């Protein structure tokens, strides 16, 4: 199971009851928090996201609408007596900001906070069942996108056939990863004769605030679901460029170039009350597009 729940879909100024950027990615038994604008902990309460299930937080960049809610969440976790470790991946300067705010409040967190400064694209978390990597996007200040990928066997064992071929069940895990089995009598049981293709491992990419840049299409190539910012409608392409943001048409073009399955758009400017035109414009270029709506979970 890989899914994304939107907690905030607006750009810098909160407006029309839309909130600054935050979303949670659910994968296996983990909940990842991606960006954490002001009020994220209240949004989590509203949408019944359990703070205690979060072990990893990823912050794309240090504009406030993407992280001003973080320190409140961290201190609340402490007040609730959290003991599990928490890992934060973010631009380096955030560590000093958090440290300073804890220091002036004379607060000792009840849990260990591990800060991992982002520095180069590539895998940043590698666990048995999932992998998270980061890639640069192109904003006014250092800014990162994140890619979440399930790690799962690509073959499914047919237990009946395996037993007929005298493969012991202790070898089944290796069958799932494509190995063939050499029996003691010297007969090789070809993997494909006792397995079938498994469901494909899913992937999700989050492209935070960025200019239109085709390099992003390379970084998110072939993901099942891509989130790409669309601060403006396509008629404001020049303004988008000046402010290091993207339009609907630009986000849809990246989705098309990257050959993703589905596109999710968000980070809408506060100047727009109605969001329908965003969907329409993006779908003109990339039909399988949806608006990122707060409180909605998008399954990958």
In the complex with a copy of itself, the residue whose CB is nearer, 68 or 111, is 68
Mark whether 235 is an active-site residue: no
In the complex with a copy of itself, the residue whose CB is nearer, 262 or 267, is 267
Among positions 55, 75, 193, 239, the unique one binding a copy of itself when judged by CB under 8 A: 75
| Dihedral (CA of 233, 32, 143, 132) sign | negative
Among positions 21, 59, 69, 253, the unique one binding a copy of itself when judged by CB under 8 A: 69
In the complex with a copy of itself, the residue whose CB is nearer, 101 or 180, is 101
In the complex with a copy of itself, the residue whose CB is nearer, 118 or 252, is 118
Among positions 3, 42, 257, 291, the unique one binding a copy of itself when judged by CB under 8 A: 42
Backbone angles phi, psi at 195, to 5 degrees: -135, 170
- Rule CB under 8 A: which of 78-137 touch a copy of itself? 79-80, 91, 93-94, 96-97, 100-101, 104-106
Is 54 a binder of a copy of itself (CB under 8 A)?
no
Output the smallest distance, CB 266 to a copy of itself, in A: 18
Is 45 a binder of a copy of itself (CB under 8 A)?
yes
Note the residues at the interface with a copy of itself (CB under 8 A).
Answer: 12-15, 19-20, 38-39, 41-42, 45, 62-65, 68-69, 71-72, 75-76, 79-80, 91, 93-94, 96-97, 100-101, 104-106, 140-141
Q: Which residues are catalytic?
A: 65
């Amino acid at each position: 199971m890989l899914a994304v729940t939107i907690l905030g879909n607006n750009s810098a100024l909160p407006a029309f009851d839309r909130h600054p950027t935050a979303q949670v990615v659910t994968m296996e038994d983990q909940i990842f928090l991606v960006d954490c604008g002001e009020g994220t902990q209240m949004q989590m309460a509203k949408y019944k996201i359990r703070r205690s299930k979060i072990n990893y937080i990823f912050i794309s960049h240090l504009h406030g609408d993407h992280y001003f809610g973080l320190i409140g969440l961290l201190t609340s976790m402490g007040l609730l007596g959290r003991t599990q470790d928490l890992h934060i991946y973010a631009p380096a300067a955030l560590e000093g900001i958090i440290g300073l705010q804890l220091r002036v409040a004379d607060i000792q967190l009840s849990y260990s906070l591990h800060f991992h400064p982002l520095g180069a694209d590539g895998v940043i978390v590698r666990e048995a069942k999932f992998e998270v990597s980061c890639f640069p996007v192109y904003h006014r200040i250092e800014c990162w996108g994140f890619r979440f990928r399930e790690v799962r066997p690509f073959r499914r064992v047919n237990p009946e056939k395996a037993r007929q071929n005298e493969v012991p069940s202790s070898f089944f895990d290796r069958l799932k990863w494509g190995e063939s089995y050499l029996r003691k009598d010297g007969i090789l049981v070809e993997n494909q004769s006792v397995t079938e293709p498994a469901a494909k491992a899913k992937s999700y990419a989050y492209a935070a605030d960025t200019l239109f840049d085709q390099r992003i299409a390379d970084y998110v190539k072939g993901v099942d679901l891509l989130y790409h910012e669309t601060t403006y409608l396509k008629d404001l392409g020049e303004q988008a460029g000046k402010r290091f943001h993207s339009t609907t048409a630009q986000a849809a073009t990246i989705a098309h170039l990257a050959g993703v399955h589905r596109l999710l758009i968000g980070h809408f400017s506060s100047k727009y009350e109605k969001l329908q035109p965003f969907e329409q414009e993006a779908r003109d270029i990339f039909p399988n597009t949806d608006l990122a709506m707060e409180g909605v979970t998008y399954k990958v």
